């Protein structure tokens, strides 16, 4: 028997970050940030029954801060879909969010300013 985990997300908030930059079509550029708590619980499987689950990773089972960060146009999600990311600490999550915002803002400023 192997053990997999199920992820349960409890969303805290959703934030629109406006870069105050417009693209060639005049759409406001920015990012949408969703913060959550990801709870990971054991989900056993056996050879007779297949149950979908995620393989255990370094964080293991428990509750962790998580984030979903995606580019946006006029406050609506735009571009490639992103994965939820879980972190060991809130500080790590916040650093990840700030890095994504900073890098994306710089890229858009260079392209559209």
What is the model's pTM? 0.85
24 secondary structure, DSSP code: T
Confidence of residue 29 (pLDDT cuts 50, 70, 90): very high
pLDDT, position 113: 73
Contact 101, 56 (CB under 8 A): no
52 secondary structure, DSSP code: -
pLDDT in tens, 31-86: 999 999 999 988 766 655 555 667 778 888 999 999 999 999 999 999 999 999 99
């Amino acid at each position: 028997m192997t053990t997999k985990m199920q992820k349960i997300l409890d969303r805290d908030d959703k934030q629109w970050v406006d870069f105050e930059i417009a693209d060639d079509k005049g759409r406001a550029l920015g990012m949408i940030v969703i913060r959550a708590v990801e709870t990971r619980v054991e989900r056993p499987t056996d050879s007779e029954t297949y149950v979908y689950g995620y393989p255990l990773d370094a964080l293991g089972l428990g509750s962790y801060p998580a984030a979903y960060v995606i580019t946006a146009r006029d406050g609506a999600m735009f571009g490639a879909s992103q994965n939820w990311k879980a972190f060991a600490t809130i500080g790590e999550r916040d650093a990840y969010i700030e890095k994504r915002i900073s890098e994306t803002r710089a890229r858009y400023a260079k392209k559209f300013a």
